[in-house]
Amino acid sequence: MNSPKTIQRLFIANRGEIALRIARTAARLGLEVSSAYSSADGGLPHLRLCHKATPLEGDPARVYLDIGKVVAAAKKLGADAIHPGYGFLSENEEFAAAVESAGMKFVGPTPDQIASLGDKIHAREAALKFGVPIVPGKSNAVESLDDALAIAGKTGYPLLIKAAGGGGGRGMRIVREPSQLADALQRASSEARAAFGDPRVFIEKYIERARHVEIQILGDGLGRAISLGERECSVQRRHQKLIEESPAPALAPADARRMSELAARFGASLNYRGAGTMEFLVPSGTSEFYFIEINTRLQVEHPVTEMRTGLDLVEEQLTVAAGHGFSSRVSSASHANGGTWIYPQQNGHAIEARVIAEDAYNGFRPSCGKMTMVTLPSGPGIRVDGWAETGLTVSPYYDSLLAKVIAWGQDREEARTRLEFALRETHIHPVSNTAPFLAEIVSETAFKSGVYDTSLLSEPRGDKKRADENRLLALAGAELISSSERFASVEYVSRPLSSWQRA
């Protein structure tokens, strides 16, 4: 692989599991790693890999979003590049421009690409112009209720109102009849303004039964782009992903290739720089697909692609940001004149499950507090990206992702079985989390079949009995830890335990 020699000191403008993920790659490449942390985050594990770190003063709920403070912290620590991770400022063109104005490299697309592609209306128009099919609807921002009614009359019901400036399910409303339109329009616009500072929304046809499939691309910023394959992302709640896998089990290989080639060619036409994801809807039972958006950053589910390709996508991002283009490994597979737009080394099957601090048996209610016992799985084909550790606290200020459990297998069933048992080995107490719920999902017939869509979690699962059983297990686990600590305090036990802990 090319080494990003023109980047020597990397600042990580993020926290949690993605900050740890980036720090590990940067440290392996021999870069000096630095970061900054809020008053709620002083003990996070990625800081142990940093050569330097500095506190960010201010409201912990907002300080990671303060462009001036983040850029100043990076300059103070002598960074020559900033990796934004995902979330926070990762898709903020003003931040990318501020980084470059300060003389540092931004590990991601150009500010102009973030601005144009982050705007879903502009991205839809660019896709349509290139010949990529888009979901039926109207890309223009809705100007009034009368405008919305006119668009709905042409699109038909059900329809989907979507925020132009962001995603993650925020600023999104399904409308099934005209009487719902006014309220849904007002709520979607207000939510979009609060979440993204942009109240614009647009309308497209709502496809009832569809799969959510995305294509991971890499662009070298020099006119070349390559697809690293597809990921199935249809296991969602409230339009947010919970499980992702590759290859997409219900997508015909010919359709997957057609989608991948089109995504790569589209990326090349944009002169795209770095890692990006093109997202599509695939109506169930068809070979059609519709473009919906581009995410101009590394995705949460990128380990699925890494497990199948053997690539390190953070390293690829750094190599491109350093001005070297693709790594030699990727470059050798990306020559367009042979029609090769898809990275050829994609082996086996990989599935990722997001372990989130939420109670899935009680409406996905958020859960916070100190983690008194954390046990994460391991074994053949198992990878865990996470920041959860015994003694750390889940605060209410940030995204509730604790860890990602990824399983690889020679085929889908091997990967699925490994993931199911890995999730059953995942214990984070007393904080409620999605691990036991997702273990149930991957063991269900519908998921096992591979023929599922975004409606998979539309029916409520779990009940109060199971929720109570999980709480009892959490209490039992906490009591077991407490008893072990009391037992270990006896002198003749504590000495050998201390020696073992240091081994």
Tell me the per-residue pLDDT of 446-473, one tens digit each, with 9 for 90 and over: 999 999 999 999 866 655 445 555 555 5
Average pLDDT over residues 108-126: 95
Percentage of the chain lying above the pLDDT 90 cut:
81
Contacts of 95 (CB under 8 A, 6+ apart): 13, 67, 70, 71, 84, 89, 106
Average pLDDT over residues 22-45: 97
Q: pLDDT digits over 407-458, tens only?
A: 999 999 999 999 999 999 999 999 999 999 999 999 999 999 999 999 999 8
pLDDT score of 335: 64
pLDDT score of 494: 26
Instruction: Give how far Cα 413 sits from Cα of 233, 447, 450, Å.
Output: 17, 11, 10
The rounded mean pLDDT for the chain is: 90
Tokens at 263, concatenated: 């995504």
Contact 258, 229 (CB under 8 A): no
pLDDT score of 332: 83
Which helix (DSSP H) or strand (DSSP E) does residue 268 occupy?
helix 253-269
Average pLDDT over residues 61-74: 97
| β pairing state of 201-205 and 210-220 | unpaired
To the nearest 5 percent, what fractions of the chain are helix, strand and coil?
40, 25, 35
Average pLDDT over residues 493-497: 27
> Which candidate, 15, 17, 14, places its Cα nearest to that of 376?
17
Mark whether 297 is an active-site residue.
Answer: yes
- Residue 488: pLDDT band (50, 70, 90) is very low
Average pLDDT over residues 248-270: 95
Tokens at 411, concatenated: 């085929």
Q: Which residue type, as a one-letter code, is found at position 290?
A: Y
Residue whose token pair is 């997001």: 354
Contact 51, 12 (CB under 8 A): no
pLDDT score of 81: 98
Domains of the chain with CATH codes: 9-107 (3.40.50.20), 136-205 (3.30.1490.20), 210-338 (3.30.470.20), 355-485 (3.30.470.20)
Average pLDDT over residues 338-352: 88
Q: Which residue type, as a one-letter code, is found at position 405?
A: V
State yes or no: pLDDT of 290 exceeds 90. yes
Please calculate the CA angle 11-86-311 and round it to the nearest 5 degrees: 85
Tokens at 437, concatenated: 């719920």
Tokens at 257, concatenated: 């290739």
pLDDT score of 333: 80
Instruction: Give how far Cα 88 sits from Cα of 14, 40, 75, 92, 320, Å.
Output: 7, 16, 19, 8, 22
Contact 488, 497 (CB under 8 A): yes
Average pLDDT over residues 27-54: 97
Please calculate the CA angle 104-330-321 and round it to the nearest 5 degrees: 5
Residue 231 sits at φ, ψ, to 5 deg, of: -135, 135
Average pLDDT over residues 479-498: 36
Average pLDDT over residues 129-150: 92
Higher-pLDDT residue of 501 and 221 is 221
pLDDT score of 166: 74
pLDDT score of 501: 27
Q: 124, 297, 329, 418: which is the annotated catalytic residue?
A: 297
Higher-pLDDT residue of 392 and 495 is 392
pLDDT score of 498: 27
> Which candidate, 209, 131, 123, 126, places its Cα nearest to that of 167?
123
Residues 355, 404: Cα–Cα separation, whole Å: 6
Q: What predicted TM-score, i.e. pTM, was given to this entire model?
A: 0.89
Average pLDDT over residues 43-50: 96
State yes or no: pLDDT of 482 exceeds 50. no
pLDDT score of 489: 35
Q: Which residue type, as a one-letter code, is found at position 169?
A: G
State yes or no: pLDDT of 95 exceeds 60. yes
Higher-pLDDT residue of 109 and 209 is 109
3-state secondary structure 245-261: EECCCCCCHHHHHHHHH
pLDDT score of 487: 35
Rounded to a whole number of angstroms, the CA Rg of the chain reads: 23
pLDDT score of 170: 84
Q: pLDDT digits over 192-248, tens only?
A: 998 888 999 999 999 989 999 999 999 999 899 999 999 999 999 988 999 999 999
